[in-house]
């Protein structure tokens, strides 16, 4: 109000604050006259913010407007602001983002602490938290916002990887805010790799290399792309030899060849799959690898015994059995062995081809006198391909022919004399009492007839005691007589033995007896025996005990004892000797033992030595006795003090406390005396004074305290101790003395003391901890440890928190900061010595702490996280920085500024006012930069100025302005087929640059998406993809999905196809991995095939693999075949004909059925069996196979247009159609390429289809004629068949062999040989005709021959063989039968053809009557095959030597000529060796590669007559001019 009137009372009313207009409020009215009631209203509500200020002070000013003075009045109003709930909780920006927790986290594990702030106060600012999202896995602490694991057992990353939760913060007024949480489970290595198959199998051929066998696969469901799911493999078992290895991560391959025989036929490998997690998880699987055999082993004999048989052995006697083994697969043809005699049997022995039993042939004869031994070479052959033979010489059976035993043994003479020394040891051989037996096979055995043994003693009396029967023994095989028991001539001097010999090989008993008279020779066999003597105790048989004084004199005057010994032997003289001592000596004849050296009992109280008694016999015998001597003592040693310790000699120094009580032990004196008894008993006494302080026990030597001790008066004493022995005999006592120094030990009996009773010190408050304040020292008159002082403060004073004292030195130091702790402090210093018990004293110490100016500004901690929205405008207030300073006045005034930091940008979008308000100063973008750090400097007003720094981080809050994207928009995963429904197969993750962005996932394609949505389900919040139903790879092996990621979760996006440019789309390819869920299946359950009887072993009959399907792929479709031998069924009689052998085998890998035997031409019938097919997972199927043995007359050939390969796909339908038409079982046996008839028009490739038919009822094979009739009967039904299959001809079987058949050449060769034999027979008949004619002509010539000139007709002929030259043109011995080769009964060679010599002789014969007759060149060749000899003859008609007919008729001229040629040939071979040709025949030819004919000259040189000789390696003979040699 204004009491002035009129204009002077008019005033304006305004609101001012701190002298400035204040627009937060306004007044009504704003002008008054004299008096006005003023209403204050809020004009700017933002200025009234409890969170900014709790009260506002402003002034209402009333000022005159019409006066010069302009008087005014002021009313100050303080407005108290009450808080209202106008702020919702705000989450700290740092809480955003993805949270992580391990999948094996236990209940109560903290995941994160998510906090929110509320600017309101009181209950409005109190925040509680709760989780929304319906999860049982996590929970939140209501009051703190800490996220915890609620049920850790429900966490499994492999089932669910991500959780999306909503955390809600609610203040006390009901305002709330939420934040989206994404919790990802961190993988732990809790899953083992799981193999896709429980068992893997593979087949490997023997010695195969560089082959991959099987692929193993194990899947680890831990997080993909981490070590936890990274699986590696190794072979952990069954591969000790290192045959296999892992290649290409998970493939098992052959590292080195496998030998079937060493492997046992299979390997059972253990493969371990292990991940790289910590700790590593692993699992194993068995891999069975079957090894197929290869015929790579020769049969080897392991039993090839040598035996003996009697010469009267007869037909069918089993001589012995040989046995060979083949390391190839047991039970297969590769190891099936046949036996045959290769040589040496000489038609006397036979061997069973299967069993190897050697037996005597019918008609065989053995003569021990003619041949005593047969060396039979046996050959073993297996049935494998290629055939393997036993090594040469591997088995030679020596059969020894034994004589028949029929003559008894005989002693000659029957009675014999022998002698043996009675000292002979047991086992001594002294006589051989042997017998003879003329039989070769005799086996003589000797024994004693003990009850006929007699004996005599020395006096000739009979000794009737059974022990004499065991004195001797005889070797049962050699007849050696030996000593069996110890002999004693004094009891027995002569023994008569009866000896029986028997031939144990005789069929009937054959024996004889003889007598051996044994005389025992005497020997020195009794030892001297010691006897009892005077002066010694005798313990039989050889121990003496004797006593002697140690003062005994040396020499013969003192006798210890006199020895005595006797000998049972007669006339024996005994001498004595002493050993093991030099103290005594002995008379060798009398046995007197005397002292040789002085005795010292203290050195040796007991003496032992040995005496020896020897007799005079030969060999000399001895006995020993032991003498034990006890030495009695004399007093010859004084007591001797023992040193207190090694290396320490008297006087001894000992310590004793000065407060020791009466009787306290001081020292234990110990003296010894080497004498015994009273001489060695030591007693003690003290001498030399101090007896009033100490005493000694006379018996034990223990020195004790005997009075009061005081170290301060006398610190030590010297004691003299006397030790003496034999105390009862004064005149015979010895003594010794020793001094001991006793030092008194101090005790703690003085207190420490200080120089002053009080000490003063000053210190400033800025002194550092550890700085010295005062040094104070106390003293103690005691010595040693009692004088050592320890310092400490007594508790209870006001300075002990700030000061400390050094316990050793007494120095006082600052212990804690003195800043702000000004004033005086009182301490009580205590000094304590280390005596026991300790003694102490105290003094007072006063410390004055003085002040300094030393405080810097201190920042006030900011509440919560500082953040600002990324779309905040320039000038937006961000936060307020506060700081305090403990100094007062200007020293406590603080101002703020932003100063550059070490990692701070040069330009920041923020500034700060002097009073600490931070505002935005530029634009923000969280995606570009999510936070900023500014360094704030706080400076006080003191001098010098003190400042502080604080880094403040400002977070830019996100605004949702970015779409989610996939890191890769094309992904591929693998899923096992038959994976159970509702199983998680993948978790899809997109990213969003926005913070706390919620991403949802939808299946949107490919169009239409309904199909994939029926198979897959996608959790829109987690991105977890699960199966709605099981997958079947065989139906569909790949599924494609189009996934969309979006922030809009409440609306399903429209279906669309994949567009690579759209980053929120992902194309996911789900590849279905095969499992072994399909069994292999035969396309039909029965198969029929035929095989001709001339098929070779190993002929491929039927291939089954092409008739099997398995819908699985890869390793799951690898097939193995085997023939079930238990199911084999033979037609009647066939099983016995094949010797119970299954005639077919199947290749386990290819499924090809092959023959395993050779069939005989007369073999007929069929074989049924089951064939099983297995895959690697053990799934199987089987089919029945029927194979018929057919012959040529049972096959029909059908010629079709096209090649074999094109026809094979129609082979089954071809046979099936014919079977349906004919009613029989028609089988295609083989396909051959049709051979075009020469000259025919080429009409393209054709195929010959060979078929046979079986009657369904009788199961017999129809003849080809019967099958043709069936076809003719159904010709109307076959018209279309012939057209469809391009049949051009149907006819009966023609015997056509394939060009590559190995039997073709032998057949041709046989036909050629047959033709040659017929031709040769014709030539022989013609030759015989001409030979007869020529023989008649020569006889006519010989009848007119004249004799002249006596001389030898050939080089080397015997001297007595002198003949005259025959008349020219004559030869008496050129008719048939005169050649010795023709006389050989076993000659098998062809008749010789005429050669040039015959022609020449005939041509000359007509022109020259003086022509010599034909040459008979006889030559033998030494073969390198043992001792057999071969001879060849050119068989010429004319003999060129002139022989008188009268001498030739009865001579051996031809034999001598052959032997001469044999010697010449040996010489020729020696020449070959001289020229380096060690072997005359190499691979069938003479070493130089050319066959030569050589003639020998009289000087042993030779002429090369050109090529003519060929060696046949098959027969082992030479061919001379085409003629085989023969044996002589």
Identify the pLDDT of residue 514. Answer: 94
Please state, in angstroms and rounded to a whole number, the distance separating the CA atoms of residues 1120 and 1146: 10
Torsion of CA 1424, 1430, 1435, 1438, to 10 degrees: 90
The answer to whether residues 1038 and 1138 touch, using CB atoms and an 8 Å cutoff, is no
Q: DSSP letters along 1297-1313, please?
A: --TT-TTHHHHHHHHHH
The pLDDT value given to residue 1515: 46
Residue 638: count other Cβ atoms within 10 Å of its Cβ: 17
DSSP assignment of 1368-1389 equals TT--TT-STT-STTTT-TT--S
Closest Cα partner for 1067 from 1085, 1090, 1043, 1035? 1043
Question: Count of CB atoms within 10 A of residue 1230's CB?
Answer: 19
Of residues 471 and 1353, the one with the higher pLDDT is 471
pLDDT digits (tens, 9 = 90+) for 331-382: 888 889 999 998 888 889 999 989 999 999 888 888 776 788 999 999 999 9
For 760-796, the pLDDT digits (tens) are 999 887 888 999 999 999 998 888 888 899 999 999 8
The structure tokens listed for 232 are 């590696």
Q: In 1010-1090, which ranges are continuous DSSP H helix?
A: 1010-1015
Q: State the pTM of this model.
A: 0.34
Q: Compute the distance between CA of residue 431 and CA of residue 501 in angstroms, rounded to an integer.
A: 15
Residue 1425 structure tokens: 């095959």
pLDDT higher at 36 or 1149: 1149
What distance in Å separates the CA atoms of residue 1440 and residue 1443, rounded to the nearest whole number? 9
Q: Express each pLDDT in 689-715 by its tens digit.
A: 777 888 999 889 899 999 888 887 888
Q: Which of 910, 895, 904, 902 is nearest to 947 (CA)?
A: 895
Please report the DSSP string for 1428-1478 in residue order.
Answer: -EEEEE---S---S---HHHHTT--HHHHHHHHHHHHHHHHHHHHHHTT--
**Nearest-angstrom CA–CA distance, 640 and 649:** 12
- Cα 1356 to chain centroid, rounded: 79
CB 812 within 8 A of CB 774: yes
In sequence order, what are the residues at sequence separation of 6 or more whose Cβ sits closer than 8 angstroms to the Cβ of residue 826? 797, 798, 799, 844, 845, 846
* pLDDT value of residue 1305: 65
DSSP one-letter code for 633: P
Using the predicted structure, report yes or no on whether residue 1357 has a pLDDT greater than 90. no
Residue 451, phi then psi, degrees to nearest 5 = -70, -5
What pLDDT band is residue 1520 in, cutting at 50, 70 and 90?
A: very low
How is residue 775 written in tokens?
């040094």
CA distance 840 to 789: 9
Average pLDDT over residues 493-498: 93
Taking residue 938's Cβ as centre, other Cβ atoms within 10 Å add up to 24
For 1128-1144, the three-class secondary structure string (H helix, E strand, C coil) is EEECCCHHHHCCCCCCE
Does the pLDDT of residue 1109 top 90, yes or no? Answer: yes
Q: What are phi and psi of 1471, to 5 degrees?
A: -65, -40
- Rounded to an integer, the average pLDDT of 1044-1059 is 88
Distances (CA, A) of 433 to 422, 446, 482: 20, 9, 11
pLDDT of residue 467: 87
pLDDT for 581 beyond 80: yes
> What Å distances lie between residue 363 and 261, 342, 366, 1185, CA to CA?
43, 20, 10, 49
Q: Are 1070 and 1041 in contact (CB under 8 A)?
A: yes
Instruction: Name the band, by pLDDT with cuts 50, 70 and 90, for residue 1480.
Output: very low
Q: pLDDT, tens digit, for every residue of 1264-1274? A: 888 888 888 88
Indicate whether 116 pLDDT > 60.
Answer: yes
pLDDT, average across residues 173-202: 87
Q: How many residues does the chain have?
A: 1528
> Rounded to an integer, what distance in angstroms lies between the CA atom of residue 839 and that of residue 667?
31
Tokens at 1046, concatenated:
């979006």
User: Pairing mode, if any, of strands 1287-1292 and 1196-1201?
Assistant: antiparallel
State the Rg of the chain over Cα.
66
3-state per-residue secondary structure call for 675-712: CCHHHHCEEEEEECCCCCCEEECCCCCEEEECCCCCCC
In 3D space, the residue among 1049, 937, 943 whose CA is nearest the CA of residue 999 turns out to be 1049
> In 3-state terms, what secondary structure has residue 43?
coil
CB–CB of 1145/1099 below 8 Å? no
Quick one: angle between helices 1275-1284 and 1264-1273, nearest 10? 100
pLDDT at 465: 87
Q: How far is the C-alpha of 524 from the C-alpha of 423, rounded, in Å?
A: 8
pLDDT of 1510 over the 80 cut:
no
How many C-beta neighbours within 10 Å does residue 436 have? 13
**For residue 38, what pLDDT is reported?**
85
C-alpha 1475/C-alpha 762 separation (Å) is 128
Region of residue 983 (left: phi > 0; alpha: psi -120 to 50; beta: else): beta
What percentage of the chain exceeds 90 in pLDDT?
23
The pLDDT tens digits for 624-652 are 999 999 988 787 788 888 877 565 566 78
Distance CA 604, CA 132 (A): 106
The SS3 of residue 1236 is coil
The C-alpha angle with vertex 1086 and arms to 1085 and 1092, in degrees rounded to 5, equals: 155
3-state secondary structure of 318: strand
Q: Report which of residues 890 and 1341 the model is more confident about.
A: 890
Lowest mean pLDDT across 523-537, 944-958, 1298-1312, 1421-1435: 1421-1435
Q: Which two tokens stand for residue 78?
A: 């303080």
What pLDDT shows up at residue 1359? Answer: 41
Q: For residue 237, what pLDDT is reported?
A: 93
**Is residue 1047 scored above 50 in pLDDT?**
yes
For helices 1275-1284 and 1211-1222, angle between their N-to-C axes, nearest 10 degrees: 170
Cis previous bond, 481, omega within 30: no
Closest CA to 1443 of 1309, 1313, 1320, 1348: 1348
CB-based burial, 595-605: b 16+ in 10 Å, e otherwise: beeebebbeee
507: three-class secondary structure by DSSP: coil
Between 97 and 546, whose confidence is greater?
546
Average pLDDT of the chain to the nearest whole number: 81
pLDDT in tens, 648-686: 566 788 899 888 899 899 889 888 888 887 788 889 888
Strand, helix or coil for residue 354: coil
């Amino acid at each position: 109000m204004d009491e002035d009137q009129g204009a002077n009372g008019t005033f304006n009313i305004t609101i001012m604050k701190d002298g400035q207009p204040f627009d937060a409020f306004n007044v009504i009215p704003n002008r008054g006259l004299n008096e006005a009631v003023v209403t204050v209203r809020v004009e700017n509500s933002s200025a009234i913010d409890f969170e900014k200020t709790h009260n506002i002070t402003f002034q209402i000013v009333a000022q005159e407007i019409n006066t010069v003075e302009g008087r005014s009045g002021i009313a100050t109003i303080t407005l108290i602001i009450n808080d209202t709930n106008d702020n919702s909780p705000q989450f700290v920006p740092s809480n955003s983002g993805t949270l992580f927790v391990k999948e094996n986290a236990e209940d109560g594990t903290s995941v994160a602490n998510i906090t929110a702030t509320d600017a309101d106060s009181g209950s409005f600012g109190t925040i509680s938290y709760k989780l929304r999202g319906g999860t049982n896995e996590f929970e939140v602490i209501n009051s703190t916002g800490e996220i915890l694991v609620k049920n850790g057992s429900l966490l499994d990353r492999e089932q669910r990887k991500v959780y999306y939760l909503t955390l809600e913060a609610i203040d006390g007024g009901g305002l709330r805010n939420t934040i989206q949480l994404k919790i990802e489970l961190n993988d732990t290595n809790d899953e083992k790799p799981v193999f896709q198959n429980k068992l893997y199998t593979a087949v490997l051929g023997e010695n195969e290399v560089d082959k991959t066998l099987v692929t193993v696969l194990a899947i680890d469901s831990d997080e993909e792309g981490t070590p936890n799911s990274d699986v590696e493999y190794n072979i952990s078992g069954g591969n000790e030899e290192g045959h296999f290895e892992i290649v290409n991560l998970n493939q098992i391959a052959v590292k080195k060849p496998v030998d079937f025989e060493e492997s046992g036929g299979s390997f059972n490998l253990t493969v371990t799959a292990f991940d790289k997690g910590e700790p590593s998880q692993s699992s194993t699987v068995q891999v069975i690898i079957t090894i197929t055999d290869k015929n790579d082993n020769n049969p080897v004999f392991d039993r090839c015994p040598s035996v003996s048989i009697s010469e009267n052995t007869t037909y069918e006697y089993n001589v012995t059995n040989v046995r060979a083994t083949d390391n190839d697969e047991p039970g297969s043809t590769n190891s099936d062995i046949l036996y045959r005699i290769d040589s040496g049997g000489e038609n006397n022995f036979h061997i069973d081809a299967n069993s190897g039993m050697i037996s005597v042939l019918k008609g065989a004869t053995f003569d021990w006198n003619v041949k005593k031994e047969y060396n039979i070479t046996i050959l073993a052959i297996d049935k494998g391909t290629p055939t393997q033979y036993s090594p040469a010489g591997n088995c030679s059976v020596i059969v020894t022919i034994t004589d028949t035993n029929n003559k008894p043994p005989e002693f000659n003479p029957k009675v014999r004399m022998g002698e043996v020394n009675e000292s002979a040891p047991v086992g001594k051989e002294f006589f051989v009492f042997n017998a003879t037996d003329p039989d070769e096979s005799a086996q003589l055995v000797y024994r004693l007839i003990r009850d006929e043994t007699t004996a005599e003693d020395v006096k000739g009396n009979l000794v009737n005691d059974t022990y004499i029967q065991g004195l001797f023994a005889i070797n049962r095989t050699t007849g050696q007589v030996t000593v069996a028991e110890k002999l004693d001539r004094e009891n027995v001097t002569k023994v008569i033995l009866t000896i029986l010999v028997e031939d144990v090989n005789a069929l009937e008993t054959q024996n004889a007896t003889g007598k051996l008279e044994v005389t025992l020779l005497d020997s020195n066999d009794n030892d001297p025996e010691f006897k009892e003597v005077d002066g010694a105790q005798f313990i039989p048989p050889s121990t003496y005990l004797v006593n002697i004084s140690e003062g005994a004199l040396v020499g013969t005057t003192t006798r210890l004892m006199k020895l005595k010994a006797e000998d049972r032997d007669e006339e024996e003289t005994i001498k004595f000797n002493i050993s093991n001592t030099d103290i005594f000596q002995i008379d060798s004849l009398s046995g007197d033992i005397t002292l040789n050296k002085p005795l010292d009992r203290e050195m040796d109280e007991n003496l032992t030595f040995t005496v020896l008694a020897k007799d005079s016999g030969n060999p000399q015998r001895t006995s020993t006795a032991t003498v034990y001597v006890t030495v009695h003592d004399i007093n010859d040693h004084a007591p001797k003090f023992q040193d207190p310790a090694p290396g320490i000699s008297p006087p001894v120094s000992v310590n004793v406390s000065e407060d020791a009580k009466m009787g306290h032990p001081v020292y234990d004196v110990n003296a010894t005396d080497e004498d015994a008894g009273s001489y060695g008993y030591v007693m003690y006494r003290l001498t030399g004074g101090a007896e009033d302080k100490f005493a000694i026990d006379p018996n034990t030597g223990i020195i004790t305290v005997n009075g009061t001790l005081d170290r301060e008066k006398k610190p030590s004493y010297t004691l003299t101790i006397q030790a003496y022995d034999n105390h009862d005999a004064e005149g015979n006592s010895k003594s010794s003395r020793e001094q001991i120094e006793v030092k008194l030990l101090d005790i703690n009996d003085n207190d420490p003391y200080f120089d002053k009773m009080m000490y003063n010190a000053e210190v400033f408050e800025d002194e550092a901890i550890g700085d010295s304040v005062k040094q104070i020292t106390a003293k103690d008159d005691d010595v040693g440890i009692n004088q050592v002082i320890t310092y400490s403060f007594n508790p209870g004073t006001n300075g002990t928190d700030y000061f400390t004292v050094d316990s050793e030195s007494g120095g006082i130091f600052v212990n804690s900061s003195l800043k702000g702790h000004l004033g005086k402090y009182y301490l009580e210093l205590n000094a304590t010595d280390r005596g026991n018990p300790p003694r102490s004293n105290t003094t007072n110490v006063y410390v004055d702490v003085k002040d300094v100016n030393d405080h810097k500004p201190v920042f006030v901690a900011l509440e919560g996280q500082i953040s600002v929205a990324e779309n905040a405008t320039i000038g937006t207030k961000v936060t307020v920085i506060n700081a305090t300073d403990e100094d007062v006045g200007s020293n406590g005034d603080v101002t703020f500024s932003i100063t550059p930091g070490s990692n701070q940008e040069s330009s920041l979008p923020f500034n700060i006012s002097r009073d600490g308000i931070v505002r935005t100063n530029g634009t923000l973008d969280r995606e570009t930069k999510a936070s900023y750090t500014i360094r704030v400097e706080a400076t006080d007003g003191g001098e010098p100025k003190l400042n502080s720094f604080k880094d403040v981080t400002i977070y830019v809050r996100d605004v949702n302005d970015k779409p989610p994207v996939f890191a890769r928009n094309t992904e591929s995963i693998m899923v096992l087929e038959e994976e159970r429904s509702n199983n998680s197969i993948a978790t899809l993750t997109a990213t969003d640059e926005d913070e706390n962005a919620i991403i949802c996932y939808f299946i949107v394609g490919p169009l239409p998406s309904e199909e994939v949505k029926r198979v897959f389900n996608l959790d829109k919040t987690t991105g977890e993809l699960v199966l709605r139903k099981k997958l079947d790879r065989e139906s569909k092996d790949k599924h494609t999905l189009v996934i969309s990621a979006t922030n809009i979760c409440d609306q399903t996006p429209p279906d669309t196809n994949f567009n690579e440019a759209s980053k929120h789309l992902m194309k996911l390819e789900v590849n279905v991995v095969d499992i072994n869920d399909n069994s292999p299946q035969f396309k039909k359950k029965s198969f029929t095939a035929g095989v001709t009887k001339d098929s070779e072993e190993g002929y491929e009959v039927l291939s089954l693999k092409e008739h099997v399907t398995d819908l699985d792929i890869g390793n799951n479709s690898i097939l193995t075949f085997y023939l079930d031998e238990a199911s084999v069924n033979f037609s009647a009689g066939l099983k016995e004909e094949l010797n119970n052998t299954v005639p077919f085998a199947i290749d386990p890998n290819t499924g090809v059925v092959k023959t395993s035997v050779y069939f005989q031409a007369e073999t007929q019938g069929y074989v049924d069996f089951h064939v099983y097919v297995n895959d690697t997972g053990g799934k199987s199927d089987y089919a029945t196979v029927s194979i018929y043995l057919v012959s040529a007359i049972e096959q029909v050939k059908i010629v079709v247009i096209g090649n074999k390969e094109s026809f094979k796909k129609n082979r089954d339908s071809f046979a099936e159609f014919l079977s349906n038409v004919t009613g029989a079982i028609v089988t295609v046996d083989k396909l051959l390429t049709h051979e075009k008839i020469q000259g025919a028009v080429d009409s393209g490739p054709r195929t010959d289809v060979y078929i046979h038919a079986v009657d369904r009822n009788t199961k017999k094979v129809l003849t080809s004629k019967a099958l043709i009739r069936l076809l003719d009967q159904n010709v109307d039904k076959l018209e279309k068949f012939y057209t469809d299959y391009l049949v051009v001809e149907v006819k009966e079987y023609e015997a056509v062999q394939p060009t590559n058949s190995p039997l073709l050449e032998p057949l041709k060769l046989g036909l050629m040989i047959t033709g040659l034999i017929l031709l040769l027979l014709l030539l022989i008949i013609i030759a015989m005709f001409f030979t007869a004619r020529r023989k008649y002509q020569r006889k006519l010539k010989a009848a007119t021959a004249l004799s002249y000139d006596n001389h030898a007709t050939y080089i080397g002929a015997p001297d007595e063989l002198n003949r005259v030259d025959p008349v020219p043109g004559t030869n008496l011995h050129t008719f048939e039968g005169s050649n010795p080769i023709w006389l050989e009964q076993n000659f098998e060679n062809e008749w010789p053809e005429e050669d040039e010599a015959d022609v020449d002789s005939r041509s000359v014969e007509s022109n020259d009557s003086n022509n010599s007759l034909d040459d008979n060149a006889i030559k033998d060749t030494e073969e390198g095959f043992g001792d057999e000899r071969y001879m060849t003859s050119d068989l010429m008609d004319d003999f060129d030597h002139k022989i008188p007919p009268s001498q030739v008729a009865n001579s051996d001229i031809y034999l001598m000529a052959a032997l001469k040629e044999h010697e010449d040939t040996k010489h020729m071979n020696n020449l070959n060796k001289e020229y380096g040709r060690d072997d005359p025949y190499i691979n069938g030819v003479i070493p130089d590669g050319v066959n030569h004919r050589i003639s020998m000259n009289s000087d042993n040189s030779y002429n090369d007559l050109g090529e003519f000789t060929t060696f046949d390696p098959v027969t082992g003979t030479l061919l001379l001019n085409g003629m085989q040699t023969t044996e002589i």
